[in-house]
Structures are given as C-alpha cells and as structure tokens.
Amino acid sequence: EKDHTANLIFSTYQTMINYIDKARDKDNKRIYTVGHFDLIICDEAHRSIYSRYSEIFTYFDSILVGLTATPKDEIDKNTFKIFGAESGDPVFNYSLQQAIDDHFLVDFGILKISTNMIRDGVKYDELSEEEREMLDNAYDSDGTVELNFSGQDINKWLFNKDTNRKVLAELMTKAIYVDSGNKIGKTIIFARNHRHAEIIREVFYEEYPSSDYGQDFCVIIDNQVKIVELA
C-alpha cells in the first residue's frame, strides 16, 4: 500500500478509515483525497451501514458498487440508501433460486428436530427430587438463584447430553449415506461454542464407540485447534 500510484487497491474498512484520517504525503496533504478513486467495489456491503464505515462512501466522489447477500432496509440501517438504490429494489439481483436453476448452488431441505427440553425448556419446580439435586450440584445453588431455563437457553449455556443424544440419533438415522449406504457422508455440525462441540463429540463416542468409528471420525474444528487436516 506504499505505492499510491497503484491502479488497484484492496483494503479493509478499518484500514481505509485510518488512511483517510491519518495518511499524509511529505507536504502533509491527504494521500487519499475525495477524488482519488474512480470506482469503489464494496463486498459484504451490508457491513457498511454500521459505525463509521459509511463515512468512506460519503467521503469519496466515485462510482460505488455494493455486493451483499443480506441487504438491510431498516429505517436506521438501510444498505439500499447508502448505495443510491430504492429500498428493496437492488440494481441487480441474482436470487438463490436462480443460482440453483443455473446449477451454481444445490437446493437444500430442512429436517426439524425437537425435544421436550428444546421446546419447553427446564422448569425447576417440575423436576424430580433427583433431577433437582443434580441441577443444584451442577450450579452450586444455595436456593437464591432460580434455576429455570428456556428452550433458547439449551445449548446456549446449559449443555444437556440427552438432548444432544437425541439429535445425534436423528442425524445417524436420516443423514446422507455413501459407500452403498454403508457409511455416513461427510457432515458438519455447527455447535454453539467449543464446550458444546466437546459435549457433542463425547456423546457421539458414548453412543457410537470408537470400535465402530475411528477416533478421527468425529472431530472438532475451531479456533482452539492449531493444526487441522481436512480429508
């Protein structure tokens, strides 16, 4: 980025904001003046409506092209307005269905899985004496904290093995199978966080022992894994 005569520059929002504010030449004049660029292409354009990033587009006097799969048309967050288009009416729209019809994307199906705990949550007063004791011990409760959990709390900060066990059972029953139906295909499960991923993996090997599935059959891939080899 030291060569300011370049015809093509790639930059993050944060870097460009800093350059507009601070970058100066030897005469202490702005390196990036309002007319510096002829064209600005903004990927993930919906992010431009937040914080100071929109100032980039009001500062430069250039043709502006925004690309996004998730435009915003809220009153205080309107991607269309920033890019000079009518709300809900982009200059060009390539729909999901069109991409599927053109064989660039593959259509998807939805399988909804629910358990009583996911649907109704956990109500302390409705638990058995044994279940209450387990919950009290798990959260070191002295009776001053109300140990009720909504369905949305499950797998947010309350990890329940039985719930994950039922979900994995549905997966193993209804997943895509390969190798003439003898092996489950490569599958990715999005966990809430690292601890949730660990619980899922623990439950998997409890239900499906490593004697049947190798230790590398179910693995965790996240920012806590230093080296990952994808087969």
> For residues 20 and 53, what is the distance between their CA atoms, to the nearest angstrom?
11
Global pTM exceeds 0.75: no
Residue 145: its pLDDT value, please? Answer: 46
Q: Contact 39/62 with Cβ under 8 angstroms?
A: yes
Helix/strand/coil for 227: coil
Distance of alpha carbon 160 from alpha carbon 154, whole angstroms: 7
Q: Tens-digit pLDDT profile for the chain (231 aa)?
A: 445 566 888 988 888 888 888 888 888 888 888 999 999 998 888 776 666 777 888 889 988 888 888 887 776 677 787 777 788 788 888 988 999 999 999 998 877 665 555 555 566 565 667 656 655 655 555 544 455 555 455 454 445 677 788 888 888 888 889 988 888 888 998 887 888 888 889 899 988 887 677 778 888 988 887 765 654
Tokens (6 digits) for 150? 């909504």
Note the pLDDT of residue 90: 85
Please give the single-letter amino acid code of residue 40. I
Position 48 scores a pLDDT of: 66
* ∠ Cα 187 190 195 (to 5°): 120
Q: What is the pLDDT of residue 55?
A: 82
CB 4 within 8 A of CB 23: no
CA distance 13 to 81: 19
